[in-house]
Amino acid sequence: MKKIFLAVLLLPLFGLAQKTGDNLGTKEASVESKDGLRLEQGSWTEILAKAKKENKYIIMDCMTTWCGPCKHMDKNVFPLKETGDFFNEKFLAVKVQFDSTADDDARVKSWKKDMKEIEKEYAINAYPTYLIFDPNGQVVHRTVGATPDAKMFIAKGKDGLNPETQYYTQLRKYEGGQKDAEFTRKMALMAQTAYDTKMSLKIAGDYIAGLTDYFTKENAQFISQFTRTSKDKGFELMLNSAEKMDALLGAGKSKALVVNIIATEEMNPGLRKMLNAKTPNPDPSAVVASASQKYPQFAADFTDMANKLVYNTVYSQEVYSPMAKALDAKTKVDWDAISTSVRVRDSKNADEMLSKGKMAYFQNTKDWPSFTAELGLFMTKFGEKATAAELNSYAWTVFDNCKDMACVNLALGWSERSIKDEKTPGVYMYMDTYANILHRVGRTKEAIQWQEKALALAPEGAKETYTATLNKMKKGEKTWAVTEE
C-alpha cells in the first residue's frame, strides 16, 4: 500500500482538493481530446442560453492554474472517451479559472467579473469545485475534489442529475422548512461533503441543539465531527465529560480535539504573527504561557504543539519553499544560501531541517541513491526522536524505491520501531509496511503473519488492498516494483 510522505518533509503536491493558499503548482495547459470532455469557450451568458436551448445541464469546473488535483483531472480524466461519452450527451462543460497570472488570455480575462460573482455566491475555496446547473441555469449540485478515474467522476455527474442527491436541491428543501431530525442530520453531512462549511456548521448546530441524549455512539461521533470552536456544544462536552465521550469515540479523542481548538483560538494567532515576522530563533513560550493560564491541564500539550508549529513553519519558509521554487523554475538549488538563512532563523535545528530539505529535493527529482544516502545520514543523527509516522514513511519510501538491499534492511529496522506500540493510531498501516519489507528481504513467513495482523486491524476501505498484498505474499509474488541490484 502506497504511503503518504510526511508533510513536514515533502509538502503535498497533489491531493483530492487544494484550498486557497495551498499554492505549490505551476500553470499547465489543459489537455482536450477529440473523444473526451468538450469544453465550451463562450461567455457565461452564451453558455446559459445554449444550455436552455439544448436542454442540457452545465458542469462548471472551478479551478486554478496552481491546483495539482485540477491538473490531474485535465490530464488523466477529462480526455478519456468514457468521460466524454457520459458528459457530452447530458452536459455543457465549462472551465473557469479562479486565479490570475501574467499568462491569462482574453477569454480568462473576460470571465473575471462572472468568476468573482460565482466565487462570492458559492463560497468557492477549494479546487477543483464542480458546480452543476440545470438547463434553466439554476444551481442544483456542488461537489469538490479530483477523482482517480473516469468512473468516479461520472458518479459525481450522476449525483448532479438526481434530485435526491443534488446538494442545492436538498438544501432548498431544508431552507423551505423540512427540518425533521433525520433530514437535518442528512443535510449537515451533505453540506460538509460539498465543502459548504458555514452552512454545514449551522445545520449541524440546529441538529445538536435538538438532541436529548448526547451520549450515544452515533450522536457523539456526529458532535465530534462538527465541533470546531470553543463555543460549540461539543467542546463543552469533551472538556467536561471527556471520559464519557471517549468511551464512545475512543481513548484520547476528546482531549485531542479540545487541545486543537484551544491552540487554534488561543495560540496560533500569536504564533503566526511571530513567525510571519521571521524573527531569529522564535520563542513561543509567552504564547504558551497565556494559553496554559486558562487551561493548565494542557500546558505540556501546548508546549509540544507550539514547538512543532515553529519548527515546521521555519522549515517551510527557509528550506522547503526556496527549494521548491528552484525546482519549479528548473534552476539549481542554492543550498549554501538556504543553509545561511535557516541558521539565522533556527540555529538549533538548522542541520536537521537542511537534511529534510535535501531528502525532499532528491525525492522530487527521483534521485533515489542520493535520497537513501541522505536518509541514512538523517537517521544516524536525528532518528532517535522520529515518530512512528515518520519512521513508517521513511521505511516505505525506501522499500518502494531503493534498489540496494542494504538500505532496505536499514528500513526494516525503522519499520520495526514504528510498530512497537500496537495501540498507536493507524498502526495497521505501519504493520503493512513492515510485512512488505519482511517479504522483500526474504522473511515471507513472518511477513504473512504481520500482514494478517494488519488486515485484521484495517478499516473496510483498506481490506481489499491488504488482502491482495497478502495473497501475493502467499503465492511468493513480489509486492514491490523496483528491481534489486
Query: What string of DSSP letters covers 259-304?
Result: HHHHIIIIIHHHHHHHHHTT-SS---HHHHHHHHHH-GGGHHHHHH
Task: Read off the pLDDT of residues 70-115 as tens digits, 9 standing for 90 and up.
Answer: 999 999 999 999 999 999 999 999 999 999 999 999 999 999 999 9
**What domains does the chain contain, in order, with CATH numbers?**
18-165 (3.40.30.10), 367-485 (1.25.40)
Task: Read off the pLDDT of residues 188-243 as tens digits, 9 standing for 90 and up.
Answer: 999 999 999 999 999 999 999 999 999 999 999 999 999 999 999 999 999 999 99
Task: Read off the pLDDT of residues 380-420 as tens digits, 9 standing for 90 and up.
Answer: 999 998 999 999 999 999 998 988 898 899 999 999 999 99
CA distance 316 to 8: 8
Grid cell listed for 443: 522473511
CB 260: neighbour CB atoms within 10 A?
15
State pTM to two decimals: 0.75
Query: What residues form DSSP beta bridges with 95?
Result: 61
User: What is the reported pLDDT for 484?
Assistant: 63
What's the chain's length in residues? 485
Task: Read off the pLDDT of residues 15-60 as tens digits, 9 standing for 90 and up.
Answer: 455 555 444 344 444 445 678 999 999 999 999 999 999 999 999 9
User: What is the reported pLDDT for 17?
Assistant: 57
CB 169 within 8 A of CB 140: yes
CA distance 343 to 250: 42
